[in-house]
Amino acid sequence: MPLEAGKVHLTSEAAWRKAVVEVGEVRGGAWRTFETVGVKRQGQEVQVKVTDDQVCSLLLLCEAHDAPRWRRAVERAMNEPRALP
């Protein structure tokens, strides 16, 4: 949850191919996606633009094909925090 609008810059060793950001929240124990947006990549840096409408939402950054797995991970963290490593 970014808490303010602006740009978030992340550097990673990973070679991002089709990175996306899912903007959403967990309601009733389940992830709810409000919107999916692309990200800007430059080398090993990923840039996410956060709008005023997104500041109180969760932002899930991942490869598009991995989104279902990470949605489940967020749901599990919210519903079963004791299960976290």
**Residue 1 maps to a domain:** no
**Residue 17 maps to a domain:** yes
Q: Render pLDDT for 34-45 as a digit per residue (tens, 0 to 9).
A: 999 988 888 788
**Residue 59 maps to a domain:** yes
**Residue 28 maps to a domain:** yes
CA separation for the pair 13, 45 (Å, rounded)? 9
Domain membership of residue 25 as a residue range: 6-83
Tokens for 27? 């309601």
Q: What pLDDT, on a 0 to 100 scale, did the predictor assign at position 1?
A: 64
Structural domain count of the chain: 1
**Residue 51 maps to a domain:** yes
**Residue 10 maps to a domain:** yes
Number of Cβ within a 10 Å radius of residue 21? 21
Mean per-residue pLDDT for 70-80? 93
CA separation for the pair 50, 24 (Å, rounded)? 13
**Residue 14 maps to a domain:** yes
